[in-house]
Amino acid sequence: MCAVVVQARKSGESPVELPGFLYGFYERKLLRSLKQDQIPRHIGVMVDGNRRWARQFNAPTSQGHQAGADKIHEFLGWCQELGVKVVTLYMLSTDNMNRSGEELDLLMGIIANTMDRLDEDADVSVHAMGAPELLPDYLAERLNKLTARTPVHEKIHVNVAVGYGGRREIVDAVRELLHDAVAKGRNMSDVADELSVDDISRFLYTRGQPDPDLVIRTSGEQRLSGFLMWQSAYSEFYFCEALWPAFRKVDFLRALRDYAGRQRRYGT
């Protein structure tokens, strides 16, 4: 993990202010350096730093959350341009549910509006990940509606992790596996003896999807905080200093360039 962090910092994580024409030139240079077969199929993103971004401008927390929501749509546009097929967004963890009621109410409303904006794009499919019973009814209903929708021409699949916890996901997967075994009349001793990694994977929230190739976390924090704990076993990690609302396309391209330069190893 330390080697990954050093690599990320060497790649120029801290925002660099450039004149407009130089910024555009640098962005195009980064784009040209990327080959299509080097683009991750599945990217997980921990959208971290909304509150700190707001504090920098002495703005209310809700403004930071709204800026973060706007950045999500911008980010998904970049992913579509580059051919990323699956994106998993860590928007609200089960631990975040301990925040003040006022902040949570505002945040839930912003997330609901974000879902409405995703619903406007007929080429985006959405899958909800998390515990719907922890969410207000109106938000759970929006997520269910989006999950049930099937786009005619899917350009990108978006997993929305809201009320999500990695440990809870694994517990839910094992619980569902056991219920399934009971329904089929299987002996529990046989289930235990024959249990495999693939058995549990088939009941995860992301069942049927490829594991993330790349996980990006903004805001300078260097931990997973329970995000895709099972699925990220062999993912590459990229930690960016920029706060999520300030995350630029050039920051994203740097992450992809860093990913393209790595030699992926599975199990070592």
What are the catalytic residues?
48, 96
SS3 58: coil
Contacts of 50 (CB under 8 A, 6+ apart): 61, 64, 65, 67, 68, 243, 244, 245
156-190 in b/e form (b: 16+ CB < 10 A) is: bbbbbbbbbbbebbbebbeeebeeebeeeeeeeee
Q: Which of 230, 239, 237 is nearest to 214 (CA)?
A: 237
DSSP track, 121-167: -TTEEEEEES-GGGS-HHHHHHHHHHHH---SS-SEEEEEEEEE-HH
